Amino acid sequence: MTGNHINVAGHLTERHITRTGQGGGRDVFEYALLRVVPRVERGECVNAGVLVYCRARGFLGARVHLDEARLLALDPAADAGGVRAALGAVEAVCGGGDAAGQAAGDDPGRRFRWLVAPRSTIVQPGPVHTGLTADPSAETERLLDLLVR
């Protein structure tokens, strides 16, 4: 679908809206980084994972990678084991089933929205971004390599 749009500078531009089935085999997905903020009052963080949700494919996935040296550089007293457990819990909620606990019965979209809700804890979600993908699982791995490792 194509339409006209007036941008901030006042220029008329053409914009394209992609709907399911119109993206050349690609679907819209949403993602957010998982950040570890060992001392919330300082606001410093380490990227430690990525959440990916693709409604069209019913996909919700998470991949985590904790760089313990970076974490301890921000806070030598950080509980790396506790952080790993929290990151593992996020992966479990994404995976669904019995490991997801009370979220097990929720659909992937509802679980994603719950996981990206702002919170003031050591493991926090970043802002949600969007993109197009033909393979949400591969996109999850690509984003982990690009933004976390």
Residues near 4 by Cβ (< 8 Å), separated by ≥ 6? 12, 13, 14, 15
Is residue 33 within 8 A of residue 125, CB to CB? The reply is yes
Note the pLDDT of residue 104: 77
Residue 71 token pair: 């974490």
Q: Is the pLDDT of residue 120 over 50?
A: yes
- When mean pLDDT is compared across 11-25, 85-99, 106-120, the lowest value belongs to 11-25
- Which pLDDT band, with edges at 50, 70 and 90, does 105 fall under? confident
Angle between helices 108-116 and 80-95 (to 10 degrees): 150
Q: What is the pLDDT of the chain when averaged over all its residues?
A: 87
Note the pLDDT of residue 8: 56
Q: Is the pLDDT of residue 119 over 80?
A: yes
Type of residue at 59 = F
Q: What is the mean pLDDT of residues 48-69?
A: 96
- Which pLDDT band, with edges at 50, 70 and 90, does 16 fall under? very low
Other beta carbons within 10 angstroms of residue 15's beta carbon come to 10
For the chain, give every domain's residue range.
Answer: 30-148
Q: Is the pLDDT of residue 143 over 50?
A: yes
Note the pLDDT of residue 4: 55
pLDDT digits (tens, 9 = 90+) for 69-81: 999 999 999 999 9
Note the pLDDT of residue 25: 87
